[in-house]
Structure 1
Amino acid sequence: MLKLIIVDDEKVIRETIKNLIDWKSIGIHVVGVCKDGLEAYDMIQDENPDIVMTDIKMPGIMGLELIEKAKAVNSDIEFIILSGYGEFNFAAQAMRNGVQHYLLKPCNEKDIISVISEVKDKCYQKRALKEQQDSLLYNFKKNVLRNTVTECLATPDMLDSLITAYEKFLDFSNTPYHLFHVFYLEEKDLLDFLKDLYAFETRCTPGICLSPVYVKNTLSLFFEDFQKNYDELNNFILSWQKNNVTALVAEQITYPNLRALLSDLLPKIARYDTIYTLNRFQMIPTYNYNALLHSVNSIAENLTSGDLHKHQLGSLETEKLLNPIEDIEFLKTMISSFLFQSPLASASQVTEFLVKMNSCTIPSKLKDYFYQELDAFFPKDIAVHHYKDFIQKTIQCVEENLSNPDLSLKWIVDNYLFMNVDYVSKQFVKETGLKFSNYLNKIRIERAKQQLLQKGSNKMYSIANEIGCGNNPQYFSQFFKKHTGMTPTAYVKKMNTTLQV
């Protein structure tokens, strides 16, 4: 589901737009409404929206400046301009800067839905293309999805706890998913069908990350729902012919999120003796290894307990569990299960290991490599950290990049953490008690106060640059006043007076 922020300095307009439309029914989640550009900029950093619908003339930061600053934080945000008749020149200027959509006030429900529909298609096209271009991210997501399915099949009664372990890598709650069941597809025809399917995907639906699961004569394909019409894919399935196969049947189901899909799909396929997950044209069988996969959870508890004796016990249990396994694909699944149980591992750390692991074909070498890296994923002193590792890295990045005007949680995630930005945002609040934008503003204000007392208000160009307001003392002054209730000059004067007294 795409996220939307509405910005307008007139309360009646922003609230009317929010309440006029059943946003959920058209695949949009309104994450907030804002009364001015400063408030909107903070919310953009916290919520990482896909779409921002903004007034063009507002006090403080105007719409054009908001667009410019937000685009620096996240160039993928799509903007919709709200403008009156007398403001069309501003809207035209925004369009010259890349904004392609606007609504003329007053606008009705039909106008809004029409524009939103166009913007949605563009957002999903950009998302699909970006994932396709980022082959590492694409393959990583497929790896996580495949591992999730395999573990859930082994421990169907532990779906909620497994989701908790994987949610920092994958969104289980907010992104809708689409499922195709392909019936009457015999195993002897499966690989031929997949070859044609992937050729069709590359040609007609690039960027869709297909996750196939096969049980006796039935192939289940699920993927993120881009809110598109899938008639072409349906027609491809129904018209596929090879080896005299002409009787395929397709069934489509849309789910609000991945959790709902797994809750429905897994019980239906778990009754089969052999279930195949597929990595392109490689069939990976899942047998009755329930007990083995279930053991990973209890061993991981020892490894993450913070107790040295339990950690040593967990290391021995890990080797005892993995040593007998000679099926290289199942071994990789088991090791992946351990990796995703680590509370401190970042996506980049896991991804680097998975890339090396996937190139390994000898079970003994893979086990040795994993045992060598075990302490990196499960440190012995794991319990003494004040913050989780990726939260500590986020705080460190703020300190080191405070002067960067484009500094945001998304920027840190994209350049340092390589994790799910929504997960990091929620964990940041949980660990620090502050939204990221509030924390960033707090640090910037503290640094500004310190520099104002040292350098004085006549050095506002320098201070503005140092705390990330760019070469813009006017914006710095607005920012400082919003968060302290006084201008920088008034603050310096007050503090000097206080010190003299």
Structure 2
Amino acid sequence: MLRLMIVDDEQIIREALSSMIDYTSLGYEVIATAKNGMEAYDRIRDDYPDVVITDIKMPILNGLELIERASRIDSRITFILLSGYGEFEYAKQAMKYGVRYYLLKPTDKQELINCLDTIREEKKQKEVQQKAEQALLLKDMQSPLEQGLLMEALDQPDNFPQVFKKYQGLLSFPEKGLYACICSFVEETYLKSFLKDIVRILLSCGAESVFPVIYVKNSALFVLSSPTLAHQETIRQSLEELHYPQQCVTFETSFLHGDTSEDLFAQIISKISRYERILLIRPETGETRDFHNNMAAPWRISKLREAFTASPAETDIPSLLDSVFTPSMTPDVAKNIALGLFLNPDNSGQEPPLDIA
């Protein structure tokens, strides 16, 4: 329903305009009437009508002054100007504010209906156009938003709920009903063929991918809706039956579930957080985004120092180091982690044990 306001200094005209038409049947709701431009302006600031029917000549603030002021606070309001004979010059002035609808007094009922019908259809078309433009804009922003979610979540693990909520609406994630499939031992040499087969497999079983494939060091993870056991088993069997030239190891498939979408993505972030290089791939188009996880971020260094300090036995130290300095890590990243670890003391001021160095 469009919100309608009627403004006229003559009570009999306000009442006549309010009752002469079944506004509800035309898709309108009369939210207020006002006896002068100042009163109308105050109501507009509070109620934000979609359409205002206003007289030109009124005390305190006339119709043109009302239109000028109201247009500054909400340019989307459509005005229907009521004018008497001999007031055409006033009407011409209103054109510079975008007013296109004029009715002569006394107002003809059918003319007003036609006017309201036209405005309703125009606003409906404009709303459809705006939604289409917003959809295109969001589509253009989809890939940067998806990458932004992962990068912020990886960089702010303690703030993950807030990060996820910021992106959830923009990426249209449901509250529940998502799950993730992880396929291991997917070497990058045959990744393109694997992605084509993913599209075919998901299409054949009616599963829908809601996020690009996340690829980290021989593992591909994709997020799906419709988490039925039948879907999972079909996907598992289909993936484990795939084979490519020079493939030495059979694929292994596992699934992640969460009570909510936020829970699921928290698990995904924990799975990929130890990898430096992360690929985001849209399997339908092959569009690929390659970004690097900041393994030497201060919060990571701090947590690593805490782990070393809290380690109950010296034999645990090599395991901790092995979990950090993986074979896929570049020498530069390893150097940055080492420098951050040994040159920046933690809050306690304690130096790291010499045997760790």
TM category (shorter chain) comes to: 0.3 to 0.5
Structure of larger gyration radius:
2
Higher strand share: 2
> Which gives a bigger RCO, structure 1 or 2 (Cα 8 Å, sep 6+)?
1
**TM-score by structure 2 length?**
0.43
